[in-house]
Amino acid sequence: MDVLVSEVGPRDGLQSITRVMPTEAKRRWIAAEAAAGVKEIEVGSFVPASVLPQMADTAELVTYAKSIAGLTVAALVPNAKGAQAAIAVKADKISLPLSCSESHSVANLRMTHARVLEEVRTVANLIKELPAGERPSFEGSLSTAFGCTIEGPIRDADIARLAEALMEAGCDEIGLSDTTGYADPAAVKRLIGVVRNAVGEDKITGIHLHNTRGLGLANALAALDCGLTTLDASLGGLGGCPFAPGASGNIVTEDLVFMLESMGISTGIDLEQLIAARDILGDALPQEPLHGFVAHAGLPLGYHPARTSV
């Protein structure tokens, strides 16, 4: 498998909408994507249900997803308490976001950079206490890396400093996140270089991109050109866009897979099965708009995915 497409819809998609998807429908969604060949799914985030009722069943979903052979089960945690909950149900991967904009961090998490880094150290120590074979991978995610709706552009030097601080605090790797949809291909390449220079080439493998201004797939290509191998996406582009109501926020998983497979880059994902999984979302969230050009247009006549190209 050349590129890992990580499905984040059950977390980033669902937390961006007001409707609460039934747990059983979430299970069917996860199972359908795993059956289609998706190897990593972020099934939720460990936040208080009073804050995000959409995520109240995350522990249950991790336990369920762990029963699916070959699936890496990921979850987002905002702090050490959330990490404890994720560790308790044996999540394979946990991500903790550090907003490059301190104003955003305070407004969103009520934590300064220094406080977030304290939480990261605590989480790293919790993981170190586990037997080696039971430790989840720990990603420090640099959110608002490409710009902030409060502060505007973020200095490259600040991004580098925060990446170094996350690694020093105990993260295994760094992820870049275009939280606000500000990224463009040139910025993607530049910031990947900034982080690599700060923490090492092997410490950044993935990126989380939004399609807010229509540059999602172009930005994904830029990341691939830089050698990144993990791309986040959301089935049906589920997830809101703060700037254009009704527009896709996250990259559409189906469109991303189609692009990669058409280019001869194998994802290991069966596109027809993936598209069929959209029906689960349509049934459970009938009033929620789903996006994606491939699902609406259909596959081209004579289309061959990368793994069966002739």
With cut-offs at 50, 70 and 90, classify the pLDDT of residue 245. very low
Burial of 214 (0-12, 13-18, 19+ CB in 10 A): exposed
Q: What is the pLDDT, as a whole number, of residue 163? A: 98
Question: For residues 296 and 108, which has the higher predicted lDDT (pLDDT)?
Answer: 296
Q: CA–CA separation, 142 vs 33, rounded Å?
A: 27
Q: CA–CA separation, 106 vs 53, rounded Å?
A: 22
**Over 90: is that where the pLDDT of 246 sits?**
no
For the segment 106-164, what is each residue's pLDDT rounded down to a tens digit? 877 789 999 999 999 999 999 999 999 999 999 999 999 999 888 889 999 999 999 99
**Over 80: is that where the pLDDT of 77 sits?**
yes
Q: What is the pLDDT, as a whole number, of residue 248? A: 59
Q: What is the pLDDT, as a whole number, of residue 247? A: 45
With cut-offs at 50, 70 and 90, classify the pLDDT of residue 241. low
For the segment 25-38, what is each residue's pLDDT rounded down to a tens digit? 999 999 999 999 99
Coil, strand or helix at 172: coil
Question: For residues 245 and 261, which has the higher predicted lDDT (pLDDT)?
Answer: 261
Q: CA–CA separation, 136 vs 29, rounded Å?
A: 23
Q: CA–CA separation, 97 vs 141, rounded Å?
A: 5
pTM of the model: 0.95
Q: CA–CA separation, 286 vs 182, rounded Å?
A: 30
| Percent of residues, the chain, with pLDDT higher than 90 | 84
Q: CA–CA separation, 24 vs 100, rounded Å?
A: 36
Q: What is the mean pLDDT of the chain?
A: 93
Q: What is the pLDDT, as a whole number, of residue 277? A: 98
DSSP string, 89-142: TT-SEEEEEEESSHHHHHHHHS--HHHHHHHHHHHHHHHHTS-GGGPPEEEEEE
Tokens standing for 73?
């089960």
Question: Would you give the end-to-end CA distance of the chain in angstroms?
Answer: 18
Q: Which of 80-84, 150-154, 218-222 has the lowest mean pLDDT?
A: 150-154
Q: Which residues, in sequence order, are bridge partners of residue 173?
A: 139
Report, as an integer, the average pLDDT of 288-295: 92
Report, as an integer, the average pLDDT of 254-264: 96
With cut-offs at 50, 70 and 90, classify the pLDDT of residue 244. very low
Residues 6 or more apart whose CB falls under 8 angstroms from that of 44 comprise: 10, 11, 14, 55, 57, 58, 61, 62, 75, 76
Segment (H or E) for 232: strand 230-233
Give the sign of the dihedral formed by CA 23, CA 25, CA 28, CA 30: negative
Q: What is the pLDDT, as a whole number, of residue 109? A: 77
Tokens standing for 259?
């692009």
Q: Characterize the bridge pairing of strands 137-143 and 230-233.
A: unpaired
**Which of 78, 88, 31, 28 has its CA nearest to residue 55?**
78
Task: Assign 3-state DSSP to the chain and report helix, strand, coil percentages, each to 5.
Answer: 45, 15, 35
Q: What is the pLDDT, as a whole number, of residue 183? A: 95
Q: What is the pLDDT, as a whole number, of residue 209? A: 95
Q: Could you give the residue numbers annotated as active site? A: 241
Residue 268: which domain range? 4-308
With cut-offs at 50, 70 and 90, classify the pLDDT of residue 310. very low
Give the CATH number of the domain where residue 181 resides: 3.20.20.70
With vertex at residue 31, the alpha carbon angle to CA 220 and CA 274, rounded to the nearest 5 degrees, is 45
Tokens standing for 139?
């990603």
For the segment 263-272, what is each residue's pLDDT rounded down to a tens digit? 999 999 999 9
Quick check: 269 and 37 in contact, CB under 8 A? yes
> What's the total number of domains in the chain?
1
